[in-house]
Amino acid sequence: MLPMNFNPVNESLRAYNEYRTTYPDVEIIGGMLWDTVQYVSAASVALQFFTATRATPDLSNMDTPSMLSNNKGFLIRAVRFRVQQVPRATTRAADGAVQTGALDNIAQLLNTGFFQLMIGAKPYIELPLWFVPSGDGIAGTIFGDGDNPTTGVIADYATNGVPAPDNVLSLSQPLFIAPMVNFAVNLRWQAAITLVGGNTNLQVLFDGDLMRPVQ
């Protein structure tokens, strides 16, 4: 039996308020923050993300270097890291030798990389880079030209993770970036890595909730 004071309109409004996107001053929607920095082959040992605005939106959606503007905030729920490669042909390695190519590029970057998220002056995430997927682990393909099994040319392509939306580093405790607070992601390696194909773009992306003024 429903209580005497039950009002279906009030109950509908209560349910609506739990999922509403607009409030008196702000709206909250699902959103992403991303930034792209180039790894310079055989030279880079440290890169910093979210500290600059980029020329095109595929590289970054930051509109203020190192912080969100005074009317935006972001709740980080998950983190992604992506190595932006294209298929390339390379010489087949001898038996027992390391096969260079896209798979080896990602293996080297992940195996020796370190990931750090700074908000203000404090680190909030610190872990080996292999723990931050674009999907889950290393995925790729490799194939040869078929003319000579020992000296032929091979080509491969790889990503650091099967491209699936839910294969990300999900945070057990979401992290809020308040307006006008400095933040950055630092990637570091023990030594510079030589990448087949030369310089390669790396991208860091946050999944979460964007807070912004009501439009």
Cα 174 to Cα 135: distance, rounded to the nearest angstrom: 19
Higher-pLDDT residue of 116, 86:
116
Reported as a single tens digit per residue, the pLDDT across 10-62 is 555 566 566 655 556 788 889 999 999 999 999 999 999 999 999 999 999 99
Question: What is the model's pLDDT at position 15?
Answer: 61
Positive or negative, the CA dihedral 18, 24, 30, 36 is negative
Here the contacts of 170-173 (C-beta below 8 Å, separation 24 or greater) are: 170/77, 170/78, 171/76, 171/77, 171/78, 171/79, 171/125
Question: Strand, coil or helix: what is 133?
Answer: coil
Question: Strand, coil or helix: what is 186?
Answer: strand
Percent pLDDT > 70 in the chain is: 79
Residue type, 30: G
Residue type, 128: P
Question: What is the model's pLDDT at position 117?
Answer: 98
Give the chain's mean pLDDT.
85
Measured in whole angstroms, how far is the alpha carbon of residue 63 from the centre of its chain?
18
Which band of pLDDT confidence, cut at 50, 70 and 90, is reported for residue 2? Answer: very low
Would you list the DSSP string of 58-88? TT---SSTTS--TT-EEEEEEEEEEEE---E
Which band of pLDDT confidence, cut at 50, 70 and 90, is reported for residue 8? Answer: low
Reported as a single tens digit per residue, the pLDDT across 129-174 is 999 988 655 676 776 766 555 566 777 777 777 666 677 899 999 9
Which band of pLDDT confidence, cut at 50, 70 and 90, is reported for residue 70? Answer: confident
**Is pTM, for the whole model, over 0.95?**
no
Question: Looking at residues 79-92, what average pLDDT do you find?
Answer: 85
> Which of 39, 36, 17, 41 lies closest to 28, judged by CA?
17
Question: What is the model's pLDDT at position 129?
Answer: 94
Domain ranges for the chain: 25-213
Reported as a single tens digit per residue, the pLDDT across 188-206 is 999 999 999 899 999 999 9
